[in-house]
Amino acid sequence: MKVEFKVNDRKHSIEIEPGELLVETLRRLGYKSVKHACDTASCGACSVQLDGNPVLSCRTFTAAVDGHEIKTVEAFSKEGELSAVQKALVEEGAVQCGFCIPALVVTAEALLNENPNPTEEEIKTYLNGNLCRCTGYVSQNHAIMKAAELRRNSASVPAGNQGELS
């Protein structure tokens, strides 16, 4: 069957198997930042944004996203410039092996769009589906707090491009 959808603002029109999962399609299209890991809706490493909301691409049929918009981690850096979330993760030492990070960024960006001023508790709750086996989460929570502050303080951020700091 044929489907059409956008990934990071780029239109894709492709032929898929009816039972094909979004994670498989995205990786086939070259979006290898989307990880195929636990495959049982447990780890969150395959998270992508579907129309702005984080979902698990390993439990979403590609056929079901026909006509919709997907965002992967690549959507949040602009011309090599990292987003506030990405910068903060690097600065806080919140990235070790890095496997969970693309999905963590995708989820954290959605959190900060929904709630620009989250408490540490709200961050923990929102990210409870993104497992990380390296960091123990403390550095990641600090990074997201920091990114939230950076985003709030950056008055020159144009609408719809909040991830970018000028």
Partner 1 sequence: MDFVFMIPNTEEELKTQLSEPGSFLMTGGTDLLVKVRIGKIKPKRVVSTIRIPTLHFLKDKIDEIVIGATITYSELMDFKPLIKNFPLLYDAIYTVGSPQIRNRGTLVGNVVNASPAGDGLLALYLLNAKIEISDGSVVPVEEFVTGPGQTALPSGEYVRAIHIPKYDWSVHYFEKVGQRNSMTISIASVGWLIRCKNRIIDEFRIAYGSVAPTVLRLRDVEEFAKGKHIDEDFTHSISKMVEERVHPIDDVRGSAKYRKILCANLVYRMIEEGTKC
Which stretches of the chain bind partner 1, using CB under 8 A?
1, 17-21, 39-42, 44, 47, 50, 53-56, 59-61, 63-64, 66, 107, 110-111, 126, 128-131
Rounded Cα–Cα distance for residues 144 and 146 (Å): 5
DSSP β-ladder status, 2-7 and 53-56: unpaired
Smallest distance, partner 1 to C-beta of residue 61, A: 6
Smallest distance, partner 1 to C-beta of residue 105, A: 14
Radius of gyration for the alpha carbons in the chain, expressed in angstroms and rounded: 16
**Residue whose CB is less far from partner 1, 70 or 164:** 70
Smallest distance, partner 1 to C-beta of residue 55, A: 5
What H or E segment, with its residue span, contains residue 147?
helix 138-153
**Residue whose CB is less far from partner 1, 19 or 30:** 19
Which residue in the block uniquely carries the two structure tokens 């990934």? 7
Beta bridge partner(s), residue 10: 7
Which residue in the block uniquely carries the two structure tokens 């602009």? 78
Smallest distance, partner 1 to C-beta of residue 124, A: 8
